[in-house]
Amino acid sequence: MDTILVVNAGSSSLKFEVFAAGSTLARLLKGQMEGIGTAPHLTVKSAGGERVANENYSCENVPDLLAAMRLVGEWLRERQEGRLIAVGHRVVHGGPDHTRPARIDQNLVDELERYAPLAPLHQPNNLAPIRVLLERQPQLVQVACFDTAFHRGHDPMTDHYAIPARYFDEGVRRYGFHGLSYEYVAGRLAEVAPGISNGRVIVAHLGSGASLCALWQGRSVECTLGFTALDGLPMGTRCGQIDPGVLLYLLQQHGMTPAQLQDLLYKESGLKGLSGISNDVRDLLASDSAGAALALDHFVHRMGLNAGALAAALGGLDAFVFTAGVGENSAVMRERIAGKLSWLGASLDARRNDGGELLVSTDDSKVAIYVVPTDEELMIARHTFALIAA
């Protein structure tokens, strides 16, 4: 049996999945090493949902991502049958030129390293397992799947900033992210709601990272994320849209260094910064503190503003889709956000919403509201399978 390994490496977690690559793809294992460097914990489930690993490790054994990769690799080699034919990787930033997945070699890695400053929480960690496998198993096919690629079909006007055009030519432009998630949801929507999938759709990817994407005929035409993964909506620890003058003020009046400013914007802002409690929506919903209320109110408010902007870009709205951790699992947040869409004719059905149904809008809603679980790992496996098949 031939298999494909999918890897999604972050700063404190390493997600992986194994697929059988026959005439079609079949998921065999789904796992994650989380709490790297603090409270390392490995969980792995079979395709049927049965837990096949549930192990805690000491920080000394798993102090960093490289150690987690080594441990996960050993676990897979000991237990996994079949012949590994390729590894597909999530790479957040593909720059202006990559419109589709690419086979990895050292030249590509060198190119992608240039975008690390634009995605400092993601890009270095995405590239770490790639480097290790290139060194240790250079014959193994590796495929990079880019979060930016789905947005590369935008009208150039959309991706320009209002600064001298020479900066656009050197790569200072709106890229958009969460593209693998949006690509999967667009394809899934065509299956479950073909009547509206080619219309004017906004998809809300709401997790620790959050963004909105405007789809027309299943293709991205606008995204709230831009040059980096800081723009648009406030996120778990990221600020979202901010007046550039604030950054100048912090640099000039507070004497912050670029490194300090980067830490503030990426790690100490968003829901965590506003609440002073947590970056986790579940914690904030459970809290009765004023900070938690402020953070959630701000998030919902900005959701409404950004959704209105994307609806304007589309010239109207036929459907709104929730996906990712918060979007899929929090009925309360879906209800609050849907309330901000009522002026567009959206009406949420409380029973359907609480019941976790696919369609959660009322029968007479002018805007259909859906909850469509995303599957970025399956999207990566599909791209990897298609590339090696070609």
Residue 160 CB coordination number (10 Å) = 15
pTM of the model as a whole:
0.94
Report, as an integer, the average pLDDT of 275-297. Answer: 97
Residue 374 sits at the vertex; the CA angle it makes with 370 and 380, to the nearest 5 degrees, is 150
pLDDT band for 348, please (50, 70, 90 cuts): very high
pLDDT one-digit tens code per residue, 150-178? 999 999 999 999 999 999 998 999 999 99
- Does residue 267 register a pLDDT over 80? yes
Strand locations in 93-157, DSSP E?
Answer: 102-103, 141-146
Q: Which domains does the chain have, with CATH numbers?
A: 2-146 (3.30.420.40), 192-371 (3.30.420.40)
64 catalytically annotated = no
Contact 80, 3 (CB under 8 A): yes
- Catalytic residue from among 147, 318, 349, 375: 147
Full DSSP string of 333-365: HHHHHHHTTGGGTB-B-HHHHHTT-SB-B-TT-
Report, as an integer, the average pLDDT of 127-141. Answer: 94
Instruction: Give the rounded percent of residues in the chain with a pLDDT score beyond 90.
Output: 84
DSSP state of 270: H
